Amino acid sequence: MTKRQSFSVLFACLLLGPLHPSHAGIASAQPVPVRSATLVAASDSFKVLLLGTGVGPRVDLQQFGASILIEAGGERFLFDCGRGATLRLTQMGISIGSINRLFLTHLHSDHVIQIPDLLLTGWAGARRIIPLEVWGPSGTRHMMDHMQQAFAFDVHVRRDVDEKLPASGIAVVSHDIKQGIVFNQHGVKVTAFLVDHGPVQPAFGYRIDYRGYSVALSGDTRVSENLIRIAQGVDVLIHEGIDPEAVRNRTDHPYLAAIEAIIAHHTTPEQAGEIFNRVRPRLAVFSHAPNTENMISLTRKTYAGPLQGAEDMLTIVIGEKIEVRHFRR
């Protein structure tokens, strides 16, 4: 793809119907102790920033790796940290040192590969002075422990020998989570829910509730009844998608024999449209999906409501109105 294509619907400032009531009915996991975190800027705003909307492990210069930032009431929450997340944050004027909460949908490499940069550069290059707290599926703590070991030389030199940077900023607090409420502070509730990413288990989506508004992120999943139930009536639903024919037609795919398995672990545009019809968000958004006209036209076969294509550095402001802002480079 040589040209960025955007498929914004209608509105840069359009009222999209009444609020839906909050959902209920998810069993809470054990309460997770959390520290107070960096307060970014006093604000009641609720924003979603699509940092990277790309698909799979291959390098894509138009759509970076999977990563979404949510800002709620001046608090920042990063969901996945795929390739380029730290670059997109910087491009959007957000210090990576201000990110100290990271939620992982699953441990596929394209969702986690930029964590070392967030961890190390956020500390040494952007003055994070409190620990990075990470929530994710079983295996998250193990991965984070080993990441610290892998970079032990750099940490030791900067912390103990040369710059004497604060030890607290390179500490990590990891949580292996189960479905349920995993964060509930500052008026922001984050609920993890299981999705269906084929054999990649467990894999989570997240729902974020703030001041009566809500966002759900699918993570990687094929059609998930659990997602449809828990995301019911959210203001914004961000869902992944795959274009099966585009994948099948790729002659440069490194593992042709694996293509059908890959397709089977994701959601087609027609299926996504059916999900949007059942969840009824005020705005449906693709991320971790190709930014192509075909994705939109295939989705339109089954869904006629408000829809936004996958586009890096898109900002969605959620309130009485939902405003979609495209990034001007």
Distance (Å, whole) CA 240 – CA 284: 11
Task: Identify which range of 33-41, 104-112, 204-212, 304-312 contacts Zn ion by CB under 5 A.
Answer: 104-112
Distance (Å, whole) CA 267 – CA 275: 10
Task: Identify which range of 20-28, 101-109, 161-169, 307-315 contacts Zn ion by CB under 5 A.
Answer: 101-109
Distance (Å, whole) CA 58 – CA 83: 10
- Residues in 158-217 that interact with Zn ion by CB under 5 A: none
Q: Which is nearer to Zn ion, 188 or 289 (CB)?
A: 289
Pair 309, 281: CB distance under 8 Å: no
Distance (Å, whole) CA 200 – CA 72: 30
Residue 81: both structure tokens together: 């940290």
Q: Which is nearer to Zn ion, 290 or 306 (CB)?
A: 290
Please tell me whether residue 108 binds Zn ion under the rule CB under 5 A. yes
CB of 265 to Zn ion, least distance (A): 7
Q: Which is nearer to Zn ion, 8 or 62 (CB)?
A: 62
Q: Which is nearer to Zn ion, 108 or 175 (CB)?
A: 108
CB of 106 to Zn ion, least distance (A): 6
- Which of the 8 DSSP states describes residue 210? E
CB of 83 to Zn ion, least distance (A): 11
CB of 300 to Zn ion, least distance (A): 24
Please tell me whether residue 220 binds Zn ion under the rule CB under 5 A. yes
Residues sharing a CB contact under 8 Å with residue 328, sequence separation 6 or more, in sequence order: none
CB of 314 to Zn ion, least distance (A): 18
Distance (Å, whole) CA 82 – CA 77: 15
Q: What are phi and psi of 53, to 5 degrees?
A: -120, 10
CB of 80 to Zn ion, least distance (A): 8
Q: How many residues bind Zn ion (CB under 5 A)?
A: 2
Pair 254, 225: CB distance under 8 Å: no
Name the 3-class secondary structure at 60.
coil
Instruction: Lay out the site mask for Zn ion across 118-157 (x = CB under 5 A, - = otherwise).
Output: ----------------------------------------
Q: Which is nearer to Zn ion, 105 or 232 (CB)?
A: 105
Task: Identify which range of 71-79, 108-116, 137-145, 293-301 contacts Zn ion by CB under 5 A.
Answer: 108-116
Distance (Å, whole) CA 5 – CA 62: 10
CB atoms within 10 A of CB 263: 17
Residues in contact with Zn ion by CB under 5 A are 108, 220
